[in-house]
Structure formats: structure tokens, C-alpha cells
């Protein structure tokens, strides 16, 4: 694991965007796994800047998003389809056919989950997967207690997740209670993983994920076993991490 301690959210976002930039510079046909939520917003802004200034091209890139709410339309501003277009895709030269997001409106959800896994395989697997972390230690929408071996599947959202995500909705009652999410197994098959954590509310989740016991009650703890994990955390989120983690050299 490589650990990068960022001074603040801005530095975290810049560093994360530079890692994606390097990935794409080295392999223009990269397959990127992307995340939504508040954490990667700054990273997407930085990526758009890099795209504009340094002419990074997304034209050969394929993307796979981690998750999508169940029974939400693409036009709904709360959908992750909408989020990705609003925050990144509309600004860059990505080919729409290279964008993959689970279809939350699919009639046959099981078929949709299998199709998603097949598309990832057909693309040659994910080169670099970006992850945020939930206050409950979830990654994607893999909530505590879910089996580590799951592939893309329909999940029931945890109370804590519904509460945390209610800030994006008119009220907590409007937050969907289910979602389609890549499974832990899907995520762990990515060649590289970039985990981002910022803010004091992530302090316990990141501590348990990186230094606690590896167990399904803390889904992100499985990342300790990934052979190519980079973590970027800001000072607030890192407050409880031991110095042996914080002093790991990042190069
Ligand atoms: P956040 O969500 O970036 O909005 O904090 C992270 C997550 O739930 O994975």
C-alpha cells in the first residue's frame, strides 16, 4: 500500500487527478473504474482542468462506474448517470459508448448485473478503480456484512448510508433504499485501486479499513489484501492513523 497524506481537500483532489492522468498517459486505452459522492468531485474538477490545459484525451478510455440507484431514471438529477455527465463527461472527449454505468431501471436486474460483469471482462478488466469510503466502511454500495465474494448485485442500502446520502435529496424518505453495485470481488479484481478519504467524518472508517481486522463488517478492510492500493487521505481523515501508515513513502 502507498499512502499519501494530503494537506487538505484541494491537494487530495489534485493528487488523485494526477494519478489518473499518469495512468491514461501511460495507457491511453485505460479502463477506469469511477466513483460518485462528494469525495471525488474535486478530482473530477482537476481532471477537467488537466484535460483543458494539457490536452489529456479521454477518447480511447472506457469507464465503469461502481454503482447506480435502483429504479432511478438517467434524467433524474440524483442518478449517478446524471452526476457523471454533469461533473465530468460533458466536459471531456469521452465516447458515450465507452461509458458504463449499471442500469438502475433494467427490468431484469440479475441479467443487468451479469451483463455488467461481462462488459468489464470484455474491456479487459479495470486498470484503475477509484473509491471513496462510506462512514460505515462501505466501498461502492457494499454495506457492512455483505459477503466479500460478491460480484455486481442488487444491494439494500444501510440506514447509515441512507442518512449520509440524504443530503443530496429533498428528504431522507426520498433516498432510494436499493442500488446496483459492483461487488467486492469485482473491485478487488481491478489492477490498481485508488482510495480517497477526506474530512473528520471518515476518521474511524479509514482507521478500521487500513489498520483493523479484515472482516465483512468493514467492507473496505479487504483492501489491505490488494496488491496495488494507493490511499490518499487528508489530515482530518488521517487523525487516528498510526505513524507507520502515515510515514509510508509515496513515490
Ligand atoms: P462521499 O461518499 O464521498 O459522499 O462521502 C463516499 C461513499 O459513500 O463511498
Atom 7 of ligand 1, residue of closest alpha carbon:
134
Catalytic positions are: 67, 136, 138, 143
pLDDT digits (tens, 9 = 90+) for 145-156: 878 889 999 999
What DSSP state is assigned to residue 151? -
**Is pLDDT above 80 for 91?**
yes
Give the span between the Cα atoms of 135 and 227, in whole angstroms: 24
Indicate the pLDDT class of residue 85, thresholds 50, 70 and 90. very high
Q: Output the CA 61–ligand 1 centroid distance in Å.
A: 24
Scored b (16 or more CB within 10 A) or e, 138-160 reads bbbbbbbebebebbbbbbebbee
Q: Please report the atom of ligand 1 found closest to the CA of residue 37.
A: 4
pLDDT digits (tens, 9 = 90+) for 121-146: 999 999 999 999 999 999 999 999 87
Asked whether 39 lines ligand 1 (CB < 6 A), one says yes
Q: Output the CA 131–ligand 1 centroid distance in Å.
A: 9
- Average pLDDT of the chain, as a whole number: 95
Tell me the average pLDDT across 104-112. Answer: 95
**Is pLDDT above 70 for 251?**
no
Indicate the pLDDT class of residue 54, thresholds 50, 70 and 90. confident
What per-residue confidence (pLDDT) applies to 147? 81
Per domain, the residue ranges of the chain are: 2-231
CATH architecture for the domain at 2-231 = 3-Layer(aba) Sandwich (3.40)
Amino acid at each position: 500500500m502507498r499512502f499519501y497524506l494530503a494537506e487538505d481537500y484541494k491537494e487530495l483532489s489534485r493528487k488523485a487527478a494526477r494519478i489518473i492522468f499518469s495512468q491514461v498517459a501511460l495507457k491511453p486505452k485505460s479502463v477506469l473504474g469511477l466513483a460518485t459522492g462528494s469525495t471525488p468531485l474535486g478530482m473530477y474538477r482537476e481532471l477537467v482542468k488537466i484535460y483543458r490545459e494539457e490536452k489529456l484525451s479521454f477518447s480511447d478510455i472506457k469507464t465503469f462506474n461502481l454503482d447506480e440507484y435502483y429504479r432511478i431514471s438517467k434524467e433524474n438529477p440524483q442518478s449517478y448517470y446524471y452526476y457523471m455527465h454533469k461533473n465530468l463527461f460533458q466536459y471531456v472527449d469521452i465516447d458515450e459508448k465507452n461509458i458504463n454505468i449499471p442500469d438502475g431501471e433494467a427490468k431484469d436486474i440479475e441479467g443487468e448485473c451479469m451483463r455488467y460483469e461481462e462488459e468489464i471482462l470484455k474491456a479487459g478488466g479495470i486498470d484503475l478503480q477509484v473509491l471513496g469510503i462510506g462512514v460505515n466502511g462501505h466501498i461502492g454500495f457494499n454495506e457492512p456484512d455483505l459477503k466479500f465474494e460478491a460480484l455486481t448485485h442488487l444491494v439494500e442500502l444501510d440506514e447509515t448510508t441512507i442518512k449520509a446520502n440524504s443530503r443530496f435529496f429533498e428528504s431522507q424518505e426520498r433516498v432510494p433504499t436499493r442500488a446496483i453495485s459492483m461487488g467486492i470481488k469485482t473491485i478487488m479484481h481491478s489492477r490498481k485501486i485508488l482510495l480517497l478519504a477526506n474530512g473528520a467524518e471518515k476518521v474511524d472508517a479509514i482507521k478500521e479499513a487500513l489498520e483493523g481486522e479484515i472482516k465483512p463488517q468493514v467492507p473496505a478492510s479487504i483492501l489491505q489484501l490488494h496488491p496495488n492500493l494507493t490511499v490518499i487521505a487528508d489530515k482530518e481523515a488521517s487523525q487516528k492513523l498510526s505513524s507507520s501508515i502515515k510515514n509510508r513513502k509515496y513515490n
